[in-house]
Amino acid sequence: MTIVDELTLEAKRLAAAEQLLGHAFADRHRLLSALTHRSFLNEHASAVAHNEVLELLGDSVLSLVVTEALVRASPGAGEGELTVRRAAHVSTANLARAAAASGLVALLRTGRSLARGVPENVAADVVEAVLGACYEDGGLPAARALVERLLGPPPAEAEPVRAHAKKDLQERLQALVGRAPTYVVAHKDGPRHAPTYTADVVLGDHVLGRGEGPNKRVATETAAAAALAALADVDDAALVAWLGAATTPKERR
């Protein structure tokens, strides 16, 4: 089957997706690829690739668009607060909700292995994939419009910093990889009577989160909260694979 034949065969699906996304694709090949899960290609001959590369692109575009929106909406907010707010907005759970609410999940081409239902992570992935396709087709303006359409504006406020964020983060990491994170704190700026501190929470060579506050305690607690938010949707096996080979924390100068 040629790509032209396949696009013709899937014309109804593509038209429904364009209406849902609010974007008419100059190249519908991109859109069809975004709507194609790997499991579909295991069972059907297709002239298009699965959506994993577009998902990777869309993940980066999503981070840029949401960060840009947060910075513009809250010019006085600190990095730690913005990180927490972004993590909540682009979480797997939030993306999956958007995919389900919009009807995007129903347009995904899958194989029999997903016949009983599309898992949350796959639903979230299709949002990123269509965003990657939209960016390739229409650039950043089209991507911004799609993020606004599917996700709405990012949260106006960060969730309150968890009182025991550092303790909770340490317990999770100790249980999974047998090591505790460390915190690298620096005095950022501000007058002597109202200083601002920044903190990175680090495990080996990995910076897990960043926060700031009027003192070291708040800065480190905010960094831990940012790390917990960023890792909330990372399952234990993936986290072990990522952090398991981390080296002893390097002394930072």
> Starting at the edge strand that comes first in sequence, how are the strands of the sheet with 206-213 ordered?
182-189, 196-203, 206-213
The distance from CA 250 to its chain's CA centroid, rounded to whole angstroms, is 28
Q: Which of 10, 55, 59, 233 is catalytic?
A: 59
- Of 92, 143, 139, 100, the residue nearest 118 (C-alpha): 100
**Contact partners, residue 192, CB within 8 Å, separation at least 6:** none
Q: Which of 10, 128, 221, 233 is catalytic?
A: 128
- Of 236, 249, 242, the residue nearest 200 (C-alpha): 249
Tokens of 98: 């958007």
Active site residue 120: no
Active site residue 128: yes
Burial class (CB in 10 A: 0-12, 13-18, 19+), 245: exposed
Phi, psi dihedral angles at 117 (to 5 degrees): 150, 150
Q: Which residues are catalytic?
A: 59, 128
